[in-house]
Amino acid sequence: MTTLAHVLPRPSRPNLAERKSLGRPSELGRFLRLNDVIATTGLSHSTIYRMVDAGTFPDRVRLTTQTVGWWQADVAAWIESRRHAT
């Protein structure tokens, strides 16, 4: 006997990125991890860190002993300042 559960494919679980995008961001903003900053700015990780060290990009914030992030509003303000710089 075949049941309906054996015939229908199981719905796939969303991956981590999809689950994050489904979440509700805080009204205060959120921290962006390095991959988010890379995707948002189009800069490479080495360029981001070089600019942070030079003081021309928002500084990272230590979230845990091994994790850093960038405040989303700071990155957005930097992008906006670059748009008006040219």
- Domain chopping of the chain, boundaries: 29-86
Topology classification of domain 29-86: Multidrug-efflux Transporter Regulator; Chain: A; Domain 2 (1.10.1660)
Q: Give the C-alpha separation, 32 to 68, whole Å.
A: 9
pLDDT in tens, the chain (86 residues): 556 556 666 677 777 667 666 666 666 788 999 999 999 999 999 999 999 999 999 999 999 999 999 999 999 999 999 988 76
Q: What is the pLDDT of residue 6?
A: 62
Q: How many CB atoms lie within 10 A of CB 70?
A: 24
CA distance 36 to 42: 10
Instruction: Check: pTM over 0.85? Answer yes or no.
Output: no
Residues 6+ apart with CB under 8 A from 63: 31, 69
